[in-house]
């Protein structure tokens, strides 16, 4: 009888952790997923996916900053594959909490690498690296060997974790791989991130629950893909013959403004833009009513202006490509937020 593969996912309560758990359970894995102790449970994503009571899923309390519990976690879960997805992942907050971000997002990854080195060096390790490491971009599009230039405490912390993954690969022969993933979104995206903030607000405006959507920099350009496509890529990265670094991206970039237009369109509303630069506002073409206002509080001290990734290496080595278009993704998110807001449930 074939034994079930065992995977450990840190951050199962997050967007990617939930989708990855679903994917691995569907593939027959036994999955251990970690969550943080809090005063109220935070399982809405795994509940939405209907996997919270799956017989092959074990939920374990864990904080990434605690090395000793990391060691016990590797001992108890005995994983073949470890996906380190937990992080303080919000760029904006990292400017307000740079030390906590360094501790969780940077050192937290090293705690996991150390636990693997001490307890089970044969386990394969996936580090959730990010296009934010390219920051002030040095080449267009960005490829695996484009020089890094992070622009936020989050980006800097992730860069440290990325290089530690490479270092453990080279120093201790650990199968440590780094996926440099460009932005990926879904109906399970946190509402603080711009795409979900937009789709949730568009739904609320459509239903008369909100007047105006407040945003920061509308000119930032992002390479947005669908999270479900990307967790498949994470799995493929750990199935490769050799540990390595891979970019996952769509190779298409759009502005935040374009995403706003797309989201209103998905809700059946045509939007006209007027004004210029930071004062720019949006008007609904049907009624002339103001729908979008710029607020300085959503601007960041340093911005990443343009991201566009080239995932040719992942396509060549792993057979991976992003298959969902931005229009499909946006429509899916607007539809989910309209449904939730009609029901009065909003996560
Ligand atoms: P989320 O913010 O949705 O999820 C982050 C997860 O980390 C949550 O489960 C959170 O728990 C957990 N977490 C936070 N702090 C700690 C801690 N101290 N100890 C243990 N767990 C903790 O992120 P995503 O799912 O979007 O992203 C997954 C990973 O991929 C992150 O590392 C992110 O930085 C990275 N990434 C994401 C991209 C994206 O576009 N989504 C692109 C590139 C990289 P809780 O629910 O309690 O807050
Ligand atoms: P990002 O995502 O910083 O790229 O990090 P986010 O959605 O927060 O911002 C994208 C761009 O939109 C601009 N923006 C706003 N952003 C937010 N959140 N809220 C606003 O009101 C707003 N207005 C404009 C931002 O300035 C930015 O340019 C995400 C996270 O998931 C990271 O963890 C991950 O590593 C990267 O994607 C790749």
pLDDT digits (tens, 9 = 90+) for 48-84: 999 999 999 999 999 999 999 999 999 999 999 999 9
In the structure encoding, which two tokens stand for residue 202, read together?
């568009």
Does residue 244 register a pLDDT over 90? yes
Compute, in angstroms, the gap from residue 241 CA to the centroid of ligand 1: 27
Ligand nearest to the CA of 259: 2
Structure tokens at 23: 């994917």
Of the chain, the percentage scoring pLDDT greater than 90 comes to 92
CB atoms inside a 10 Å sphere around CB 148 = 20
d(C-alpha 5, C-alpha 218), whole Å = 44
Together in a domain, 247 and 273: no
Q: Residue 333 CA to chain centroid, in angstroms?
A: 15
Residue 204: CB partners within 8 Å, gap ≥ 6?
A: 210, 337, 341
When pLDDT is cut at 50, 70 and 90, the band that residue 279 belongs to is: low
Amino acid 285: pLDDT: 65
Q: Is the pLDDT of residue 107 over 80?
A: yes
pLDDT-derived band at 273 (thresholds 50, 70, 90) equals confident
Q: Which of 32, 101, 130, 250 is catalytic?
A: 130
What mean pLDDT do residues 101-121 have?
Answer: 98
Q: At 15, list the tokens.
A: 């967007």
Position 305 pLDDT exceeds 80: yes
Reply yes or no on whether the pLDDT at 277 is more than 60. Answer: no
Domain CATH for 111: 3.40.50.720
Rounded to whole angstroms, the Cα distance separating 297 from 340 reads 27
The question of whether 154 is a catalytic residue gets the answer yes
Whether 97 is covered by a domain: the verdict is: yes
In a domain, 1, yes or no: no
DSSP 87-147: S---HHHHHH-HHHHIIIIIIHHHHHHHHHHHH-TTSEEEEEEEGGGT-S-SSSSB-TTSP
Say which CATH number the domain at 339 has: 3.90.25.10
Taking the CA of residue 90 as reference, the ligand 1 atom at the shortest distance is 2
Tell whether 211 is covered by a domain.
yes
**Annotated catalytic residue: which of 34, 62, 105, 132?**
132
The string of pLDDT tens digits covering residues 137-165 is: 999 999 999 999 999 999 999 999 999 99
Please indicate, yes or no, if residue 115 is contained in any of the structural domains. Answer: yes
CA angle 238, 188, 14 (to 5 degrees): 55
**Cα separation of 205 and 189, whole Å?**
19
- Is residue 327 classed as helix, strand or coil in its secondary structure? helix
Measure the CA–CA gap between 46 and 20, rounded to whole angstroms.
Answer: 10
- Looking at the fold, whether 174 and 259 belong to one and the same domain comes out as no
Task: List phi, psi (to 5°) of 133.
Answer: -65, -25
Say yes or no: 12 and 31 in one domain. yes
The arithmetic mean of pLDDT across residues 270-299, rounded, is 78
Containing domain of residue 286, as a range?
194-219+255-304+332-343
Residue 182 to residue 141: CA distance in whole angstroms = 12
Taking only the tens place, the pLDDT of each residue in 85-102 is 999 999 999 999 999 999
Task: Taking residues 235-242, report their average pLDDT.
Answer: 98
Cis peptide preceding 4, ω within 30 of 0: no
pLDDT at position 243 = 98
Q: Which residues pair with 216 in a beta bridge?
A: none
DSSP 55: T
For the residues 5-11, what does the mean pLDDT come to?
A: 98
Q: Which of 216, 259, 260, 277 to mutate to test the pocket of ligand 2 (most atoms within 8 A of CB)?
A: 216
C-alpha 14 to ligand 1 mean position (Å): 5
**Mean pLDDT score, 184-188:** 98
* Complex-level ipTM: 0.99
Number of compact structural domains in the chain: 2
């Amino acid at each position: 009888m074939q034994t079930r593969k065992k995977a450990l996912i840190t951050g199962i309560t997050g967007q990617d952790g939930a989708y990855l758990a679903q994917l691995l359970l569907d593939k027959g894995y036994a999955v251990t997923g970690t969550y943080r102790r809090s005063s109220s449970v935070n399982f809405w994503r795994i509940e939405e996916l209907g996997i919270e009571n799956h017989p092959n899923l074990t939920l374990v309390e864990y904080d990434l900053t605690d090395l000793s519990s990391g060691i016990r976690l590797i001992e108890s879960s005995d994983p073949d594959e470890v996906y380190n997805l937990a992080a303080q992942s919000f760029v904006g907050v990292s400017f307000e909490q740079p030390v906590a971000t360094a501790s969780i997002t940077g050192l937290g990854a090293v705690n996991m690498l150390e636990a693997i080195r001490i307890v089970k060096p044969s386990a394969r390790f996936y580090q959730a690296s990010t296009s934010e490491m390219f920051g002030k971009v040095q080449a267009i599009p960005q490829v695996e060997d484009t020089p890094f230039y992070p622009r936020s405490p989050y980006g800097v912390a992730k860069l440290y974790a990325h290089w530690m993954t490479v270092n453990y690969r080279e120093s201790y022969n650990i199968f440590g791989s780094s996926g440099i993933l460009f932005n990926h979104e879904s109906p399970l995206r946190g509402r603080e991130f711009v795409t979900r903030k937009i789709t949730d607000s568009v739904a609320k405006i459509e239903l008369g629950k909100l007047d105006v959507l407040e945003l920061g920099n509308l000119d930032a350009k992002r390479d947005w893909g669908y999270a479900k496509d990307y967790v498949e890529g994470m799995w493929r990265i750990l199935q490769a013959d050799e540990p390595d670094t891979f970019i996952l991206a769509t190779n298409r970039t759009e502005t935040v403004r374009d995403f706003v237009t797309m989201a209103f369109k998905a809700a059946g509303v045509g939007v006209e833009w007027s004004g210029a630069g930071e004062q720019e506002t949006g008007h609904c073409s049907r009624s002339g009513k103001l729908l979008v206002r710029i607020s300085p509080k959503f601007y960041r001290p340093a911005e990443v202006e343009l991201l566009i990734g080239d995932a040719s290496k992942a396509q060549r080595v792993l057979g991976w490509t992003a298959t969902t278009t931005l229009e499909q993704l946006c429509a899916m998110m607007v539809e989910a937020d309209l449904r939730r807001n009609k029901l009065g449930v909003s996560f």
